[in-house]
Amino acid sequence: MIKAVNLLPVALIATLTIATPLLAATEPVRSPEVAVIFPPGWDGADVMRAAASADAGVVRFGAWDNILIAQSDDEAVLSRLRQAGAWFFLPPGALGGCLTRPSDLSTPNTSIGTSAHDQS
């Protein structure tokens, strides 16, 4: 039988492993764009309502609907976003770009050995 006391060091190491990068990423954002993290479960409409009530400039959504990339011209915008429900703010490139959606990599249909003249 494993005692809870024996699991304490493992739990502490796991917590520090997860929390340390997040705490490092939550340093004050000093760029015109900021990733705004809203509660899980918020959809795009909830996030847009919060951004509109805070008068924040919307750039795009993040990897999930509860993440918004917004323009933060001054601290007042961030304060209003927090009052509207934002949990915290990160630089958009934080966590190795995990806060942004992958771009659409689709390219025009081009076949090898054919040209626009051949397809007429």
Q: Over the Cα atoms of the chain, what is R_g?
A: 21
- pLDDT (mean) for 77-89: 91
pTM: 0.60
The 10s digit of each residue's pLDDT in 21-52 is 666 555 566 678 888 989 989 999 999 999 99
- pLDDT (mean) for 85-100: 72
Whose tokens are 């409409």? That residue is 45
Tokens describing residue 52? 């509109």
Average pLDDT, the chain: 75
For the chain, report the end-to-end CA distance as a whole number of angstroms. 76
| Start-end of H helices in the chain | 4-25, 44-53, 75-83, 94-97
